[in-house]
Structure 1
Amino acid sequence: MSRTPLRLLVLALAAALAAVVLPATAQAAPYCGITWGSGAKQAGSSAPAIRGTELTAVRAGQHACYDRLVLDITGSTRVASYRVEYVPAVRADGSGAVIPLRGGAFLQITVGVNNYARPPANSGNVADVSGFRTFRQVAGAGSFEGYTSEGLGVRARLPFRVFTISGPGSTVRVVLDVAHAW
């Protein structure tokens, strides 16, 4: 047997073994098992707020795989609607003025809520997110005609999820989780 056919046989065998050990279709597992995506999320009708609802607090927390923002709403056991989406710039309700935010990507959070129970003293920093892995800044974007908005500056366009939790009493929480990575 000459060296050329032997070399071809060895190369063919090595390629076959590589295909078995490293299949071309293998993909990395999602970060922390997260499969949320970064497209817009919404729930409820596009109707404005239920009369008497108020945004009473905006809180932030850190978890192992994501950062969390919680909007506390009182006055109803349900939220008429919410929409959360990445936007080029967060805009104020009513005026459309750009809300300056730190971060590489921006989420506009709009909920069907009449207004703030007490407008935040510093609407440019509604919740303290200093030291968070993903969040960079939370800012109030105002209330207008039955809708209230918040702006969230994040490190980059990352996957997120949104859901609501009812209770206690006439309180509803809109929860937004943004993953640390893809």
Structure 2
Amino acid sequence: MRKFQVWLAALMVAAGLGFVAPGAASAAPYCGIVWGSLSKSTPALTQAQVVNVRTGQQTCFDRLVIDLNGTVAGYSIRYVPQVVQDGSGLPVELRGNAFLQVTVNAPAYNPSGSATYNPANKAELTNVSGYKTFRQVAYAGSFEGYTSLGLGVRARLPFRVFTLAGPGTGSRLVIDVAHMW
């Protein structure tokens, strides 16, 4: 009789585990964001030039916008251990715990070599104090038809990249970095 009770208890415990075992995690993504943190790029070149860089804060992400005076054709945005300057390869010092190397396949100078974008302070392109994710935006140079920026962020967070037409005949390269996963 004792053996029967032990087996019965074991069977009830095993059956009970099936009813109380935790299910698969199904937490909804933060703000509906389903982006990743892997590199994003397109290889095309453009005749347009970089003319401005600006940032903004949104409810779920911080935004970096690069304005061009023509159509955005190509770009490469990726997390790197250290952002480097175009041409020289020298490191760009940035605040933050993760760093995005942002390269737009367009120069910041016109065909005669005159600057189309010449920031007053290359280490601080915009004031991002008080932003939830961004820590610093710095100019990494423009060399042989490519312009690079360094974006220091709080952590390696998901980001997305897209282009927008306008204003006028210009276009914009937009990089959104989420506030959290």
Compute the TM-score of the two structures, normalised by the length of structure 2.
0.88
Give the structure 2 partner of residue 54 of structure 1.
49
Identify the residue that residue 111 of structure 2 maps to in structure 1. none
Partner of 2:74: 81
**SS of structure 2 residue aligned to 1:90:** coil
Q: Distance in 2 between matches of 1:6 and 1:61?
A: 64
Is the 8 Å Cα contact of residues 134 and 154 (structure 1) preserved in structure 2?
A: yes
CA distance in 1 between counterparts of 2:25 and 2:90 reads: 46
Residues 1-182 of structure 1: pairs in structure 2 closer than 5 A? 2=2, 3-19=5-21, 22-23=22-23, 25-45=24-44, 47=45, 49-50=46-47, 53-74=48-69, 76=70, 78-115=71-108, 116-182=115-181
Give, in angstroms, the shift of residue 64 of structure 1: 1.6
Alpha-carbon distance, 1:174 to partner: 0.4
* d(CA) in 2 for partners of 1:122, 1:33: 36
For the 8 Å contact 1:44–1:79, the answer to whether it is kept is: no
SS of the counterpart of 1:133?
coil
Distance 1:118 1:150 in 2: 12
**Deviation per residue, 1:48-96 (Å, 9 max, x gap):** x41xx3322211111121111111111x2x1231110111111111111
CA distance in 1, matches of 2:87, 2:151: 18
Structure 2 residues not aligned, in runs of 5+: 109-114
Using structure 1 for the length normalisation, give the TM-score: 0.87
Distance 1:26 1:88 in 2: 31
Q: State the percentage of identical aligned residues.
A: 53
Hey, what's the Cα distance between the residues in 2 that align with 1:164 and 1:41? 12
Q: CA deviation at 1:44?
A: 4.3
Secondary structure of 2:127's aligned partner = coil
Q: Aligned-pair distance for 1:5?
A: 3.5
The letter for the 2-side match of 1:30 is P
> How far off is 1:6 after superposition?
4.3
Secondary structure in 2 matching 1:4: helix
Gaps of 5+ in 1: none
- One-letter identity of the residue aligned with 2:15: L
How many residue pairs match? The answer is: 173
Q: Name the stretch that deviates more: 84-93 or 2-11.
A: 2-11
